[in-house]
Amino acid sequence: MHNNNRRQLILNAAQESALLRKLATETLCDQLLVFAEKISGVIGVGGKLLICGNGGSAADSSHFAAEMIVRLTALRNRQALPAIALSADTAVLTAAGNDYGFEQIFARQVQGLGQIGDILFCLSTSGNSPNLLKAVESAREKNLITMALLGGDGGRLGRMVDFKLIIPHHSVQRIQEEQIFLIHLLVELVESDLVGE
């Protein structure tokens, strides 16, 4: 690919991302506030966040949990907030996958770690991953609140969860970029709710 074409590819991606950022923040702002309020309320009464996703969304699950437990910014030093990335424990993932099948790797953890009133938070670009669908089924059986950060049309997951945020786009990379932006905003809003300015 010639350098002029490569330069145009970069500029096109940046423009597409900027347009999606504007669209996503304008259309999802109120829903994001509801998410933050619900998460803050659950943590405020002793509940926790169980977070899961596959591939890049697994990494984003760990990122989300780390910022909840540690902090988002050095400008706000606060207590740890309870969050667990269900994609992070390789021993549990491989044992559950080996003994029960890949579709059960998150459901099994929800069964062992989830308590009434906790939140299961799923990250997915398609909303159709069988292991996330099974996790939501297990969460419902245990009376957990279910949330999902999704893309496209939300897929099957979007029709199953109690609360959903759907990035209105078809490109996996653009969806994931906006998901991490929304995660950062969520953490900031939850911190503000629970610890103050």
pLDDT in tens, 49-60: 999 999 999 999
Q: Specify the pLDDT at position 1.
A: 59
Starting at the edge strand found earlier in the chain, the sheet holding 119-123 runs: 83-85, 49-53, 119-123, 145-151, 163-167
Q: Find the distance separating the first CA and the last CA of the chain, reported in whole Å.
A: 49
**For all residues of the chain together, what is the average pLDDT?**
94
Q: Specify the pLDDT at position 85.
A: 98
User: What is the C-alpha separation between 115 and 126, in angstroms, rounded?
Assistant: 27
Q: Which among 139, 148, 147 is positioned nearest to 112, based on CA atoms?
A: 139
User: What is the C-alpha separation between 72 and 82, in angstroms, rounded?
Assistant: 14
Report, in angstroms and rounded to the nearest whole number, the Rg of the chain calculated over CA atoms.
Answer: 17
Q: Which among 197, 190, 191 is positioned nearest to 35, based on CA atoms?
A: 190
User: Which residue would you say has higher pLDDT here, 3 or 29?
Assistant: 29
Q: What is the mean pLDDT of residues 130-155?
A: 97
Q: Specify the pLDDT at position 74.
A: 77
Task: Label residue 197 by pLDDT band (50, 70, 90).
Answer: low
Q: What angle do CA 23, 26, 30 make, to 5 degrees?
A: 135
